[in-house]
Amino acid sequence: GDSVTQMEGPVTLSEEAFLTINCTYTATGYPSLFWYVQYPGEGLQLLLKATKADDKGSNKGFEATYRKETTSFHLEKGSVQVSDSAVYFCALSGIAGRRALTFGSGTRLQVQP
Amino acid sequence: EAGVVQSPRYKIIEKKQPVAFWCNPISGHNTLYWYRQNLGQGPELLIRYENEEAVDDSQLPKDRFSAERLKGVDSTLKIQPAELGDSAVYLCASSLDNSPLHFGNGTRLTVT
């Protein structure tokens, strides 16, 4: 079945550092890929998405590129802020009408001033 | 627009007791999902509704879990009887056709 693997956290960075959170997936066909973010005490929010190979999703300075050849969707940001501290979830939505998301286990990011 | 609303926010019960969670999706969203999120894990789908029809409940433990969405709007998820391993955050989400999912803040269940 479909699955998503994320790098384990926590990831601890200083403010303005470069961020990469790795995500790889296993799926039949061509899924849509997502990054969701969960800030402390809040619900999951969509951060960005990509629906086909080579698409780049971007939002709030975060980017991720759908790489079919490596089945990856790594999240990057050039300069993190303290306010980016949260848990980040990579997810995929499968094909054939199964629109429910399959999530990775999440990566906690802690940004220190 | 108002987001997905869930209640209660927290629930503490003793094992073997029943418990119910309620979800009001975003107005007009035809698809509703219930997910369970264990501590330190990603959410896992329990059930998905298209309007009032449960179209994917393969991961719902049907011996103790039940759900309903009678008028294709609000939904209730019930556990009876609860077990210690049911302690988790129960998330409701909704979407319209192929739009991204919108999540509620969840109900944190603690079974003692």
3-state secondary structure of A79: coil
Q: Tokens 């979800």 sit at which residue? A: B23
Quick one: closest CA in B to A48, which residue? Answer: B100
Distance to chain A for B80, nearest Cα, Å:
25
**Given a cut of 80, is residue A97 above it in pLDDT?**
no
> Distance between alpha carbon A46 and the CA centroid of its chain, in Å?
10
DSSP summary character for residue B90 = E
Look-up: residue for tokens 């286990």? Answer: A105
Cβ neighbours, 10 Å, residue B94 = 25
pLDDT of A42: 87
Q: Which two tokens stand for residue A76?
A: 């990057």
Interface test with B, best of A101, A102, A107 (most B CBs within 10 A): A101
Q: What is the pLDDT of residues A9-68, one digit of tens each?
A: 899 999 999 999 999 999 888 899 999 999 988 889 999 999 999 999 999 999 999 999
Residue B3 with chain A: CB contacts under 8 Å: 43
Output the CA–CA distances (angstroms, integers) from residue B97 to A37, A89, B30, B106, in the order listed.
22, 22, 7, 22
Which positions in chain B touch A45 (Cβ < 8 Å)?
A: 103
Cα dihedral A81/A83/A87/A91 (nearest 10)? -80
Percent share of chain B, pLDDT over 90: 85
Q: What is the pLDDT of residues B1-48, one digit of tens each?
A: 689 999 999 999 999 999 999 999 999 999 999 999 999 899 999 999
Chain B residues near residue A49 by CB distance under 8 angstroms: 100
The reply to whether residue B56 touches residue A98, judged by beta carbons under 8 angstroms, is yes
